[in-house]
Amino acid sequence: MCGIAGWIDLKSDLSQQQVIMDKMSKSLAHRGPDASGMWLSQHAALAHRRLIVVDPAGGGQPMIRYKGGFAYILVYNGELYNTSDLRNELENLGHRFTSSSDTEVLLISYIQWGSECVEHLNGIFAFGIWDEKERSLFLARDRFGVKPLFYTQRGDSFIFASEIKALLVHPFVEPEVDAEGLAEIFALGPARTPGHGVFKGIHEVKPSYCITYDDAGIHQRRYWSLESFPHEDDENTTIEVIHTLVKDAIERQLVSDVPVCTFLSGGLDSSAITSIASMYFKKHNKGMLHTYSIDYVNNSKYFKPSSFQPNSDAPWIKRMVEECGTNHHYIEVDTPQLSYALIDSVRGKDLPGMADVDSSLWLFCREIKKEATVALSGECADEVFGGYPWFHKEEHLNANTFPWAKNLGERTRILSPDIYNLIKPEDYVARRYHETLEEVPRLQGEEPLEARRREMFYLNLTWFMNTLLDRKDRMSMAHGLEVRVPYCDHRLVQYVWNIPWSLKMYNGREKGILRQALKGLLPDDVLERKKSPYPKTHNPAYEAKMRSWLTDILDEGNSPLHDIIDEKKLRWILENEKSDYGKPWFGQLMALPQLFAYLIQVDVWMKGYKVKLV
């Protein structure tokens, strides 16, 4: 993976703008610690930070190729999983390659097919190509937004980068946040409206979209979307197809010239990846697979089973390590580390995030990077196959809002009346929710309950999954660790999208069809293990730390929170441990301690980024 940045101005000379491009590039050094490159011309300036994964000698960027005397210059962040297929196709069309890198395959694909090249790609990617002949910039992002890509237009300048921080070091871009940005933070956060960059005038290329910028302005096109049609395959064929697609996606994503590992929680999704990866390693004599898990110091002492977190991971991890014969690394995080990494995770994301869920992942990835450069993770299976409680419980299905954020009042009651009236959180959330429902690819004649579940899947794939992918990229790439997500393979997602709910719930189990497709790859007890989410700390010391830290912030006279929250209400909550703020207000893991941590992150963000409210 890498970091990319660019500046296009069709009316000015950018050939001497190395200082600014250098600043943008250095702000992304964590994404690409292995090499850097820059390309300056009259109207286009491009910068690249490289994390070497494939073809160390031949994949340098910005990459330049010529056709008809005109240059095509690429900066690219990502990984193509169908590189060899594309190379063969392009060679048959007369193209010749000088490297084995997917970067060259991507650039030649654009030269051959133009903007339609994205429809040929299987992978995770965000890239920009400056086309000298057309005097145009082409930007594209993968189908589910695994890799980030932000942009802004300031006057005649079009500026883009992998992360917001790189845009903010450009002198034309101010860290301004308006009412809509505040609504993103306090009504939707840590989720974001697809395409929204929170800062005023900053946007994100939406998943499945490409953008062309030229003399006529910005042209946006959606190049891929889910298609709804009746599922014609019988039960056995469906199981066989899922098995094939999952196995193929995992094996494709093991290709690398640097060490590859897997995240292992002992749950269904990560165990399947580990099982297939370990067999692949043995078959191709790649040595022993390394696996990693995270837990918290003394967590077993405080862990209390619940309906959504029925058991701890440790025994199941041990089971899979013995089954697959991996070299496993147990990483434990202590409360002080977890707390102070809240600051680091804000810097990684450029925004407040999922509190300790982010900071623990930041710490986890930091440790993994010491031994590996690429990891495979089990994200997205719950969104694709319907693993979350809100797919199953009537109260969630009937909720006329985002099911992972039903308790909007838990967070908005602490806002000052002025901010509440400014952002109108209920109205803002309702608008974004109904906008999304308008996009759902409907299936004519579908039963009402099945149609509602289709809506639920679409909401999860475009919102909740995007939030988790955003978190995964930013926390891992903060350390130059590339994390791949095989369940996000668009072929698998499209196939499962149309499988009826009764078949997805094979044998009456959540993700039952996936469990059946993985039979023979996992021990039966692991195969039947009830879903348990990403582990969180249960240590009361963490909540105590959040209370004291947030109290200290409120005691400061210069905290930006004073202008946003109702201080009297918040202090009452901080001083009353038995307050009624115990319900999760985002997902399954973010309750009262995470509300405190989120507000701490807002304070850190507004101070650190010198946020100006406009």
C-alpha distances out from residue 381 to 225, 228, 388, 549, Å: 18, 19, 10, 36
As a whole number of Å, the end-to-end CA separation of the chain is: 35
H runs (alpha helix) in 292-355: 299-302, 314-324, 335-349
Please give the structure tokens belonging to residue 311: 């058991």
Half-sphere exposure of 142 (CA within 13 A, CB side): 27
Q: Which of 202, 251, 211, 43 is nearest to 126 (CA)?
A: 211
> SS3 of 159, please?
strand
The DSSP code sequence of 574-589 is HH-TT-S--S-SBTTT
Per-residue burial over 335-355, b = 16 or more CB atoms within 10 Å of its CB, e = otherwise: bebbbebbbbbbbbbbbbbbb
Say whether 324 is catalytic.
Answer: no
Name 237's Cβ contacts closer than 8 Å, sequence gap at least 6. none
Spatial contact of 163 and 150, defined as CB atoms under 8 Å apart: yes
Spatial contact of 345 and 476, defined as CB atoms under 8 Å apart: no
Please give the structure tokens belonging to residue 244: 């094939």
- How many other CB atoms sit within 10 Å of the CB of residue 108? 24
Please give the biggest Cα pair distance in the chain.
72
Rounded to 10°, the helix 268-283/314-324 angle is 20
The pairing of strands 374-376 and 260-263 is: parallel
Q: Which of 314, 246, 243 is nearest to 532 (CA)?
A: 314
Amino acid at 524: D
The dihedral region occupied by 355, where left means phi > 0, alpha psi between -120 and 50, and beta the remainder, is left
Task: Supply the Cα-derived Rg of the chain in whole angstroms.
Answer: 24
The dihedral region occupied by 72, where left means phi > 0, alpha psi between -120 and 50, and beta the remainder, is beta
Q: Which of 2, 117, 210, 324 is catalytic?
A: 2
Q: Can you tell me which residue has the tokens 């939030």?
A: 467
The dihedral region occupied by 174, where left means phi > 0, alpha psi between -120 and 50, and beta the remainder, is beta
Name 84's Cβ contacts closer than 8 Å, sequence gap at least 6. none
- How many other CB atoms sit within 10 Å of the CB of residue 274? 30
C-alpha distances out from residue 266 to 77, 109, 193, 358, 523, Å: 30, 40, 32, 20, 11
Report the catalytic residues. 2
